[in-house]
Amino acid sequence: MGDPRHSYDASYDPSLTPSERQAEATSLGDLLAEVSRDVSTLMRQEVELAKAEIRESAKRAGRGAGLLGGAGVAGLLALVFLSVALWWGLGYVMGNAWSAVIVAVLWGVVALVLALTGKKQIEEISGVPQTVETVKEIPETLKRNEENR
């Protein structure tokens, strides 16, 4: 060991702040371990936050979907009663049988238009091309570069 009068101990230097004293006394390995622990803790906390946010969003989405379902049922009932009223109103002009046929054909045309529009939109779905491309690139990225051996 060296002469204690010539050794430097940062913990006794009054000109240093407590943070500077701690930095002087801490080894690089300790600092790296602390950074690693902090990053790990941060990542766990971020994952927990994301889970909590997703749970809250899912609850709200569930409530919204339920309300939309209720609105759909109410809308369907309204359409049924409006269709009956149209059938009844046309029945005064041309008889109940023909008015029922006209209302049925009207709804058939609406159904056909909706079905063709929906089919066209489904055919235009391209999947997830960017994700597929990125996933294909992962194995290439993970292969070792021959020049860096």
Residue 88 domain-assigned?
yes
In a domain, 2, yes or no: no
122 phi-psi bin (left φ>0, alpha ψ -120 to 50, beta other): alpha
Number of domains in the chain: 1
Does any domain span residue 24?
Answer: yes
- Tens of pLDDT, residues 64-118: 999 999 999 999 999 999 999 999 999 999 998 999 999 999 999 999 999 999 9
Q: Is 50 exceeded by the pLDDT of residue 1?
A: no
With a CB cutoff of 8 Å and minimum separation 6, the contacts of 10 are 16, 20, 21, 24, 25
Which phi and psi angles does 13 have, rounded to 5°?
-80, 110
Whether 49 is covered by a domain: the verdict is: yes
Global confidence as pTM: 0.50
Predicted confidence (pLDDT) per residue in 23-32, tens digit = 777 777 888 8
Instruction: Note down the domain range covering 95.
Output: 14-148
Tokens of 82: 């409006």
- The alpha carbon dihedral of 86, 87, 89, 94 has a sign of positive
Residue 5 lies in a domain: no
